[in-house]
Amino acid sequence: MAPLLDLARRQSLSIQLPSWSVLPTRDALYREFIFGDFQEAFQFMSQVAVIAEDMNHHPEWFNVWNKVQVTLSTHDSGGLTERDIALALAMDQIVKSADES
């Protein structure tokens, strides 16, 4: 089981993950991604799925047309861990790479 993030690490989240927020009702990260259309949204989800499977760390997500809402929390640890940060950073990198191409 991965250890929960300590206070110092939590305080650095807004710097490292500025597009993500910590949910006030739950120890989890949240972000909404908006794409040009459903195909772009689904392509993003497909790319994330491969990474998540390799990490054995799977997001909670919801997709409607061009929007993908993502919640990350390490369930077996009961809150935020480095695994959530790693997956959030990977998602941000996928979007950044797509924007640059």
All domains in the chain, ordered by first residue: 19-100 (3.30.1360.20)
Q: Which of 78, 74, 27, 19 is nearest to 52 (CA)?
A: 74
pLDDT digits (tens, 9 = 90+) for 44-64: 999 999 999 999 999 999 999
Model confidence, pTM: 0.95
Q: Which of 18, 31, 19, 9 is nearest to 80 (CA)?
A: 9
Report pLDDT for 21: 97
d(CA 28, CA 9): 14
Amino acid at 10: R
Percent of the chain clearing pLDDT 90 (strictly above): 93
Strand-pair partners of 22? 29
d(CA 66, CA 85): 24
CA distances from 33 to 6, 17, 38, 45 (A): 27, 14, 12, 10
Span 19-36, average pLDDT: 97
Q: Which two tokens stand for residue 27?
A: 């120890």
